[in-house]
Every structure is written in C-alpha cells, then in structure tokens.
Structure 1
C-alpha cells in the first residue's frame, strides 16, 4: 500500500470557510467574514465567505500571488537571474525542477484546494441549502464556483502536461495533436475520492470549456469593484485564452471579439499607460485582477518584490529582492519611443523590472483586455477570422505603445508571428511567455544568460518545458504510477 498523504484537501478540513477575504466585493449587500464550519454553507452570507475564500487562494504565493506569474517567465527567455540574488527561482531558471521540488507540490496542492472549494460550493448551491438566496444570487454563486474550477483545472493542465496540440508521442504517450496524452486528475464532485486517475488533456479541455460556458450564462454582466471577481466578460476572456491554447482559432477569434465589444473595458491611453500600473486605481483594461492593499498583501513574497531591488525599493516605500532582471533581448524589442520602456529603471548600472512598481501593493493582472486584442490577431493569422480585423487588433496594441511605430500589414503566419512577438512585449512578466513558446511548438533560445553554465537552448519538445507531477502525489495515489516522460 502506498502512504496516503493528503494531497486533495477538502474545503472543510482546511477551514477555507473561515478565511478572511482579501477582496472587498459583496455577492450580497450583507457579508460576513467567517462561517461556522460545523453548519457549513447554509445562507448567502456563508456562501459569499466561501466564494471569497476561493479568491484568497488565488492570491497565495504558490498560485497567482507570485509562482505562476514568475515561473513561466524565468524559465523562458524573458528573465535573467541577477548577479546578486537570494536563491529564489534558481531551479526554474536552471531547468533543475524535479518531482520533489517544493514549488511543484505547493502549486499542485493549492490548485486542487481551489477545485475542491468550488465543488463544495456547487454542492451546497445545488442542494437547496442556501435557503435565503434569490435565483440571481444562486446563479452568481454557482457561476463563480464554475469559473474558478475551470481556471484551476486549466492552470493544472498547462503546468503539468504538454499542450493540447502536441503530436510527438515520445514526449507524452498518446499525443495525437488533439489532447490524447495524459493531463491531470479531473475532480467534479463534492467529497470525490481524492486519489483520482489522470485523464487526457482533451478531457480536461472539454470540461473547462463546459464549465466556463455554463458560468457565462450565470454570472452578472457588470464588472466587480477593482475587477476582482469573474463576471461574464472575464469568464469569456478566459474561454478565449483556452480556445487559443487548444488551437481552435475560429472560436478564439470570435470569443475574444465578444470581450472587446464590452464597453466596460478599454485600452489605456499611451499617456496613462505607465501610471495605470501603480495600483492606485483600477485599470480600464483589467478583466480580472487581484488587488493588493496596504493592510493585506504578501509582504516580501509579493510579486513586485521579486523584481524590485531593496534600494531604492518600490514606489510604495517597501524594499524587494531584485532577484530577477529582464534580459537584454527582451529590452531590445522595445523601440526608444515605446512607452513600455518605462517599466525598466536603471539602479546601480542594472535595469530592473518596475512593471509592478509597488513592492508589496501592486495589483496582479490575471486577464487584461490587451490580451484579447492579441488573441484576435494571432487567431486571424492562423486562419481563424478576418485578416483585416486581426491587423487592426494588433495595430491597436502596437500604436498605443508607440505612436511612431509602423502599422502591420502582414497576413497569414507572418501576422501570427508578429502577434506572438507583441504578446511577448505587452504581456511580459505576466506569466505567459513559456506557455506561448510551448503551445506554438517553439524552442527556448536564450541569448542573454547568467553564466556560461546556464542552459541556453531548450529544444521543443524538451520534457523540462512542463513540470513533473509531485512525487508526493505519485506516492500517495494508487491511480498514478508514473510521472511525465523524462522525470
């Protein structure tokens, strides 16, 4: 018998229902900060606290609070380890992650906590236990749970498995270009057996698309304060991202267009672009973000802190580690008149990344409207929609950043390539780069490296492009006996 380590932890056993929310968003006019665990979810107040608990999990260091924003960047060609660093993210940078790595197991565990939290909320919402909820309130609660469950499963499968479009079965047995290889366990039921088998990547995609499609029909259209929860457009935006990763370019194109058409969101002007990142106000671009507050943040483990040096520190007066700096080849992509060059500040002869200018209190963008424009462009370049609309979408991003730039007139694969290049520039440090390379079957080519011993090239599909399953999960789960190929 394998040792039954607790990997999937139920909502009740971790006391998620008693979390204090870091969001100030109400699902109903009356909201309590905690729930009596013995009584579970029994009314709108307790359901609201449970929903807020799910969002608290997103903010953790081992989810979007830092790990999943940084690892896809540091393992790609966007980030260089600073000559003086505290040792953080070295394994990701050096491609020495293994199945016993603490980050690998912490992310896995935290994402499944979110899945189980969502399943628990859905169980109570569908059983009639939330007796005082109106129909609209009940729909909203279920919509939030479905959206979070979809996001967690999608984040699991893109970190712990090769993309849907993988065709090389030597990298993952069963790969057929249509998600035929193994992904991660799919958990859909309250109190489901925690040691579930892996299902195919295709099965994960089918479910997350179903969950988001259902959530869109349940969630409100109006944006939440600070865009800190899913509404219809935020859920639709995540769906557009998933279609893009799947290689379903027609659906990626049309879904992203629907999001862009929502007048609640708009591209920030060139003049306001840099100040838009200061966290003082909610950006018009933010479809979904994690707001950071002076009295509620991850401190030195915050996202901005990993990039910002101790002296002079961040714009909020707090210091940082300054462990990770942008590569020269990334910086060279920006023209001298590109407003985004303002992210980089020279301190002691080193250009540091100040895209998140507050060391502790920068908002964390999960989905921005800019990404939707770039999805339209990339999908159009891959035959998913109107080339003219794709060019217009790409040029909206290019010319917003640099009004002196030459607009794109490209078509086909060149347009798609230009869109991917603009994604690298616009979405830098937001946790996209490694995923963008791998889903496009591209190798990692590092021209700016920390030392001669640093791995400069990772040829697609190198097994190190995805994480291994945690060894603790394999030891505990009788349904999983082998790790990803190469580990």
Structure 2
C-alpha cells in the first residue's frame, strides 16, 4: 500500500519538490528521506513553501472544498444540491458515511499540506535572515489556518461541552519522514488544537509583512489578523476577535470594493487572503476554482450542482443588490459570486472584519473602532440596502448571512451561536464529519466520532 495514502501525511520532502519544481521530476517518492539533504539550501525551503501554498489551493482545501462542504453541511434548504456526486449529496443531507471521499480528502490533503509547512519550519536555519521571518510566518499561517479548519470539521464546536476533554484532531508539528508506530497518534483535544492555532497565527502576525513583494495569494500580516479574528470569534472571545478585526480595518491596507459585483473580481481591494487561480492552473486538480465548478451553471463553465432557493433570496430587501446577484436559467437560480472559472477563490475579506467588529462590540456594549450600527450600515450601504436605525445581535447575524452567503461561514456561525440547521441542533453528531475510515483502520489510536 502506498505510504502516503496509508497514513494521510506527506512522506518526506521529495514529493513536494517533485510537484513544485520541474527540474526535480526524476526524484522518486520514498518511505524514508533525510530531510537535511532534501532541504539543503534556502532555495529548497522556498520551493517547499511554494508546495505548501500549492497544497493549500487544492480543490479539497481553500481551492473550494472547505467552503462548499461547510455550506452544504450547514444548509437548511437555502440551496438544493442537484448534482450526481453521492459524497456531496451525503454532506448536504447530513448522512455522511465514514468512507465519504470528500471528508477523506479534506483530512488527507490537510495533513499533507501541514507536513509541507512542518518541513519549512524545521529547515529555517537554511534561510538567510532577510527571508527567515517571512518564511516562518507564511508557514505558520498555513498550518494554523488548516488546523482551524480541521478541528472545526472533525471536532465538536468550541462551545459544545468541554473543549479540554473533547477530541479534536492529532497535532503533528514536526516533519513526517519515516512512517512507523510513532506516527499513530491519538487525537489532541479541541482546546489543544485551538491553542496551537492561536500560537501559529499570533506568531504569523508578528512575523509577516503588511504586503508581499511577490504579490497576491501569499500570507500577510492582515491575513493572519483576519484569521485570528475568525478563531477568536469561534471561541467566543469577543474582545480578542474585535481587536484583531480592528487591526485589519485600521491598517488601511484593504478597502471595501465600490460595488458588490466588484468584490468578486481578481483586483478586488477587499480580499485579505485568496487563492490565486491562473488559466494554466485552472486545468489542474490543485488549481481549479471549485466554487465555480459547483455553484456556477454551464453558461459559466460550471456544473451548476448547487442551486439557490427562494427561501434564501427572500431574505434580502427590495433595494439590496445582493438580492439580485443571481443568474436564472430554466427556472434554476445560481449565485453570481463564482462565475469566473479562473477567478481567484475568496478566503477572507474586509467586509467580514466589519461584521466581526460589529458583533463583538455589540456583545461587549462597546464601540472600539466604530459603533456596531455604523459598521453594519457601511456594509449595507455598499449593497444599496436601506440603512438600519438601530442594530441588534439578530441584525448582525442576518447581515453575515446576506453578505457572506456561500463563502464557507454558515456552519461555523450556526455552531458558535448554538443555532440549528432546520430541526438539527448545532451540537448534533451528524454536523461533525466522521474520522475517515481509512485513518481509523491504519491508526489504532484514533477514536471515531459519536454517531459513526
């Protein structure tokens, strides 16, 4: 059996270098590799970091899978899944099997990419002082973001029971080179995983520059701050969430796009972090805009598997342009957010930071940065929606649903607010993905989630 497939971790560095550098195509994967030889120079570390970004952009990760899986699992007939892929239909219906391929690949690709970051972090002594901090910050951002996504998907919500006891996912913080008994690791607790996520992202914020010389699609200080805001909000640490969001907003690095349609263009000024897709990458499994694949109809080169229902569209006011941001074909309705097949994939954007700050300030009866009403109305004004004269928590949560629909935040919002998906409670077993059966079969220290 292939070792990579068996354990879900990328074995050694040779596989990364094969995918990241054509000149090394003759390097053969192996069960054991001397990492000190594989990463012998700063160029090798840079190539490996490029491989980590390539992994992050995989269709099962931020290339789209993380976003659409969270939306489908948290959906209550805002959309209908009309496609033929049984694994996605299972997720939408909340009947996920332990052999579900999408859940398996989220785990596998997540850990493969984390291992690439671990290789970078273990070889920082090969990097000159000019780039060392940036390389470390980028690797920590990727690792922290992925552990956050994995623990949300495969563990109980932070507000469900006791995080210090609930099983999360295994923390692997050093490169996996030789696979043996030591690689059969138990699940760390939810609290332990969150602590590692915060450690990685906090250090990333300290180390990363405000902008990257090599352009968009690379982690920056703002990206780390925005991800910290998400993590703290999920933990219900509202002061820390507000302050992280406020640092993004007041940095001046990002501005709201002038129109809602302009948000979803490749030159949008409010994208804090995104996966950059090119024409060349679009034909490859690691570079396809998977949100286009499932949300856009054939007219825009997608499959049109996810169709928007009246239940969702009726939430918008008459003047709200977001309520018309759809395409109707043969009485089937599709969001216009992802119509560009080679469009960059949004991960986190400035509008979300305004809404995080608004919610946190409202909960804390504070006005740090701006009053909650002002922040919510800033988002509504861009959409042409009627301004509110007063704002409640329900107003802010609804605004998140209207503004961020289909971008991967629905399930997380339902869980952290102890809501429901229809009649399904936020802490129901079937709103947590099963540990993939292939992992259970090969790692006897893993414990399956309840209900599976």
Query: Cα distance, 1:386 vs. partner?
Result: 2.3
CA distance change for structure 1 residues 86 and 6 in 2, over 3 Å: closer, same or farther?
closer
Q: Structure 2 residue aligned with 1:306, among 270, 289, 294? A: 294
1:139 is aligned to 2:116: no
Matched residue, 2:344: 363
1:121 is aligned to 2:120: yes
Q: Give the stretch that moved more between structures: 466-475 or 72-81.
A: 72-81
Question: More helix by proportion, 1 or 2?
Answer: 2
Q: Give the stretch that moved more between structures: 71-80 or 84-93.
A: 84-93
Query: Cα distance, 1:86 vs. partner?
Result: 5.8
Matched residue, 2:20: 20
Matched residue, 1:72: 70
1:486 is aligned to 2:425: no
1:360-390 deviations in whole A, cap 9, x for unaligned?
A: 2121011101111111111122227428622
For residues 69 and 4 of structure 1, the distance between their equivalents in structure 2, rounded to whole angstroms, comes to: 25
Matched residue, 2:175: 190
1:288-340 deviations in whole A, cap 9, x for unaligned?
A: 00111112115777321212222xx11xxxx2211111122211112232122
Q: Structure 2 residue aligned with 1:461, among 427, 443, 447? A: 427
Matched residue, 1:287: 272
Matched residue, 1:434: 411
- Equivalences for 1:321-360 in 2 at 5 Å? 321-358=303-340, 360=341
Q: Give the stretch that moved more between structures: 3-12 or 325-334.
A: 3-12
Number of positions where the alignment pairs a residue of Structure 1 with one of Structure 2:
433
1:274 is aligned to 2:236: no
Q: Structure 2 residue aligned with 1:161, among 152, 155, 158? A: 155
Matched residue, 1:392: 374
CA distance change for structure 1 residues 298 and 238 in 2, over 3 Å: closer, same or farther?
farther
1:46-95 deviations in whole A, cap 9, x for unaligned?
A: 22211111111122121122211111112213642355756562111111
Query: Cα distance, 1:7 vs. partner?
Result: 1.9
1:236 is aligned to 2:220: no
For residues 124 and 84 of structure 1, the distance between their equivalents in structure 2, rounded to whole angstroms, comes to: 44
Gaps of 5+ in 2: 28-32
Query: Cα distance, 1:143 vs. partner?
Result: 0.9
CA-based RMSD: 2.5
Gaps of 5+ in 1: 22-31, 168-174, 446-456
Query: Cα distance, 1:12 vs. partner?
Result: 2.5
1:112-159 deviations in whole A, cap 9, x for unaligned?
A: 11111111111111xx233xx2x1301111111111111111111000
Matched residue, 2:30: none
Q: Is the 8 A contact 2:363 2:393 kept in 1?
A: yes
Q: Structure 2 residue aligned with 1:180, among 135, 152, 165? A: 165
For residues 184 and 84 of structure 1, the distance between their equivalents in structure 2, rounded to whole angstroms, comes to: 30
For residues 23 and 4 of structure 2, the distance between their equivalents in structure 1, rounded to whole angstroms, comes to: 33
Q: Is the 8 A contact 1:163 1:179 kept in 2?
A: no
1:249-273 deviations in whole A, cap 9, x for unaligned?
A: 0100111101101112011113xx3
Matched residue, 1:172: none
For residues 382 and 69 of structure 2, the distance between their equivalents in structure 1, rounded to whole angstroms, comes to: 28
1:377 is aligned to 2:358: yes
TM-score (norm. length: structure 1):
0.83
Structure 1 counterpart SS, 2:136: helix
Structure 1 counterpart SS, 2:123: helix
Matched residue, 2:53: 55
TM-score (norm. length: structure 2):
0.89
CA distance change for structure 1 residues 35 and 48 in 2, over 3 Å: closer, same or farther?
farther
For residues 218 and 368 of structure 1, the distance between their equivalents in structure 2, rounded to whole angstroms, comes to: 21
Matched residue, 1:250: 239
For residues 302 and 191 of structure 1, the distance between their equivalents in structure 2, rounded to whole angstroms, comes to: 29
1:272-295 deviations in whole A, cap 9, x for unaligned?
A: x3134243xx21101100111112
Query: Cα distance, 1:44 vs. partner?
Result: 2.7
CA distance change for structure 1 residues 339 and 298 in 2, over 3 Å: closer, same or farther?
farther
